[in-house]
Amino acid sequence: MEIPILFQDSRFVVLNKPAGLKVHPGPAGGPSVEDIFPTLSRRKDGPWLAHRLDADTAGCLLVALRKAALLEAQSLFAAGRAEKTYWAAVRGTPPGTNGTIEAPLLKRTTGRIWRMEPDPSGQPAVTEWRLLGAAPGIAWLEFRPRTGRTHQIRAHAAALGCPLLGDPVYGDGQGPLHLLARSLCLKLDPILNVTAPVPAHMQAALGRCGAQATMPV
């Protein structure tokens, strides 16, 4: 298995994670990003995932090659100082051109199924959003999460009235999930600033919404 590398230095590797690939095996096992770790470093310790993405989310995934780099990155993520941008294709159109969703999220489980729902007793969750384009029935949104809750963008998009295309939990689940971890910026020394290309399964929807036909690859 090969995963494209968007950036690499002595501290970090930023992978272009494909949609549908888990970041770690979990109890069910199966292919995961961690399968390629032996090819990223020959050091006795590491590499380490510096953060996580849902299995169905594509784009920028940060892997630390050294423990000191891992701790630096985790500190920025924990403090909300990691600048993360996501692109999504959603159903419907939002009420306006930009805004901020401040909706605490609480995990609710029914049988074997769980989801994150807005609830005042949940963990604080804040997401900024911006409309980048629209077409009949769908829209192209940019999300900037200011907190890092599970399923935050997916749950907040649904709360906005615009569930992500292909979302099996918060939307209709038709087709693949249209969510891309578009860019990641960590203000370290030297700075880390990486952008992921639009995956093939999202290009048609974003193209309908006005994205250029020749998106970066």
pLDDT tens track for 66-107: 999 999 999 999 999 999 999 999 999 999 999 999 999 999
Per-residue pLDDT at 167? 98
Per-residue pLDDT at 43? 86
**Which of 9, 54, 56, 172 is flagged as catalytic?**
54
Low-confidence ranges of the chain (pLDDT < 70): 213-217
Average pLDDT, the chain: 94
54 catalytically annotated: yes
Give the CATH class of 5-208: alpha beta
Per-residue pLDDT at 217? 42
Burial of 86 per CB tally in 10 Å (0-12, 13-18, 19+): buried
Per-residue pLDDT at 215? 54
Per-residue pLDDT at 57? 98
User: Domains of the chain: which residue ranges?
Assistant: 5-208
